Amino acid sequence: MIKGKGKKKSPDYIKAYHNDYVITIGRHPRFNWVTHTDKDYMYFLYITRTEKDFVGKNTAHVGNINVLCHQQTFYDYHHLMLVIEPILSEYILESEKIFKICMLVQELEYQSEDPLHQEASGE
């Protein structure tokens, strides 16, 4: 299952589920203290895995916890797209699913810049 946030405006993040993994790729306006790039947005990649574990030391209650498997920050879209396929292929063996995720990541960058999209969506 693959989700994107926001239907009427360009998405801020996409979220994909594969087995026990949750892949989240987000876009955020560049922070003012980031001075080595002039790009408007930064990108974040998080891959977590859901595991069952005991909630506390003294209880037998079991709950789901998220384990961070991979986290990376990208200072521009181009660098993200250069390395996303090798990173995702460590967790997903289906090339078709990796392709679908990459296509959704493209929406993070290009939806807000496409004048035809803006005209059709009323932005």
Number of other residues whose CB lies within 10 A of the CB of residue 48 = 17
Q: What DSSP letter does each residue of the chain carry, written as one string?
A: -EEES-SSS--SEEEEEETTEEEEEEEEEPPTT--S---SEEEEEEEEEEEEEESSTT---EEEEEEEEEEEEESSHHHHHHHHHHHHHTT---HHHHHHHHHHHHHHHHTTT-HHHHHHHT-
Break the chain into its structural domains and give their ranges: 2-113
**pLDDT above 90: percentage of residues in the chain:** 35
Is the predicted pLDDT of residue 68 greater than 70, yes or no? yes
Residue type, 104: L
CA torsion 119-120-122-123 (nearest 10°) is: -60
* Confidence at residue 35, expressed as pLDDT on a 0 to 100 scale: 65
The reported pTM is: 0.71
Q: pLDDT digit string (tens) for 87-105?
A: 999 999 999 999 999 998 9
Q: Is the pLDDT assigned to residue 123 strictly greater than 50? A: no
- Top-confidence residue, 55 or 24: 24
Write down the mean pLDDT value for the chain. Answer: 79
**Residues in Cβ contact with 3 at an 8 Å cutoff, skipping those fewer than 6 apart:** 14, 15, 16
What pLDDT is recorded for position 37? 64
Reported as a pLDDT band with limits 50, 70 and 90, residue 11 is low
For 2-6, 10-14, 39-43, 92-96, which range has the lowest pLDDT when averaged over its residues? 2-6
